[in-house]
Amino acid sequence: GESVGLHLPTLSVQEGDNSIINCAYSNSASDYFIWYKQESGKGPQFIIDIRSNMDKRQGQRVTVLLNKTVKHLSLQIAATQPGDSAVYFCAEKPADSWGKLQFGAGTQVVVTP
Amino acid sequence: NAGVTQTPKFQVLKTGQSMTLQCAQDMNHEYMSWYRQDPGMGLRLIHYSVGAGITDQGEVPNGYNVSRSTTEDFPLRLLSAAPSQTSVYFCASSFGETQYFGPGTRLLVL
């Protein structure tokens, strides 16, 4: 079946560097994508989202890029800080399913001093 | 606003016991859902509701029941707990497509 997946299960980043977290999706019918951050012992926290009619969207220190040609989604974090250490999930929503998100397995980001 | 709240935070059950995980939101969101999260895996949808009185099954509904009598509350019931239901359970709500999650309930079934 179609699923959302991540290329890298663990990403180690030096403090101050930029982080790039990648996500592959296979459902070409998905029209909405979202990134969540999950700190240990907490629920997923919304970071940024993007619709399929966009290629790029920026937030505060974060940018999401969507490449529909190769079905690839990425999250860029600028000037990574220790507080960015967490698991990051991407999720997609098929166009015919209101609210039913499909999640990837997650990427553990570790920020080193 | 308190957002999405879940109780209890942690629960231990014996196989065959029943319990209800509570979820409430004060944002007047129509859509609510329950997910489970297992180690090394993403969240999987158990049940969801698009409004009071309406519920439907998600990806992994077996062993769980839900009801939605009010907009605010969406309890998840385990009628006969099994060790395979050991997991962390998250409730979420949304008005549009962005879902907001509660802090989770960690459930251990012995």
Nearest CA in chain A to B42: A105
Strand partners, A47: none
Q: Which helix (H) or strand (E) holds A93?
A: strand A86-94
pLDDT digits (tens, 9 = 90+) for B49-71: 999 999 999 999 999 999 999 99
For residue A70, the 8-state DSSP code is T
Please tell me the distance from the alpha carbon of residue B103 to that of residue A85, in angstroms, as a whole number.
18
- Identify the pLDDT of residue A4: 52
Q: Is B107 helix (H, G, I), strand (E, B) or coil?
A: strand
Measured between CB atoms, does B105 come within 8 Å of chain A?
Answer: no
Q: Which residues of A touch B104 (CB under 8 A)?
A: 41-43
Q: Which helix (H) or strand (E) holds A47?
A: strand A45-51
Q: Which residues of A touch B97 (CB under 8 A)?
A: 32, 34, 49, 93, 98-99
Residue A82 phi, psi (nearest 5): -55, -35
Answer yes or no: are the C-beta atoms of A39 and A86 closer than 8 Å.
yes
Nearest CA in chain B to A98: B97
Residues of chain A with pLDDT under 70: 1-8
- Identify the pLDDT of residue A68: 94
Interface of B with A in 65-104 (CB under 8 A): 90, 94, 97-104
**Which residues does A66 contact at the CB level (< 8 Å), separation at least 6?**
A33, A50, A52, A54, A55, A56, A72, A73
Identify which of B33, B42, B94 has the shortest CB distance to residue A106.
Answer: B42
Beta-carbon separation of B48 and A103 below 8 A = no
- Identify the pLDDT of residue A3: 43
Residue B85 phi, psi (nearest 5): -95, 5
Measured between CB atoms, does A46 come within 8 Å of chain B?
Answer: yes
- Identify the pLDDT of residue B1: 73
pLDDT digits (tens, 9 = 90+) for B83-94: 999 999 999 999
Beta-carbon separation of A43 and B33 below 8 A = no
Nearest CA in chain B to A6: B42
For residue B73, the 8-state DSSP code is B
Length of chain A: 113
Beta-carbon separation of B43 and A103 below 8 A = yes
Beta-carbon separation of B42 and A42 below 8 A = no
Answer yes or no: are the C-beta atoms of A90 and A35 closer than 8 Å.
yes
CA angle B3, B8, B13 (to 5 degrees): 150
Q: Is A84 helix (H, G, I), strand (E, B) or coil?
A: helix
Measured between CB atoms, does A34 come within 8 Å of chain B?
Answer: yes
- pLDDT category at B103 given cuts 50, 70, 90 is very high
Please tell me the distance from the alpha carbon of residue A19 to that of residue B86, in angstroms, as a whole number.
33
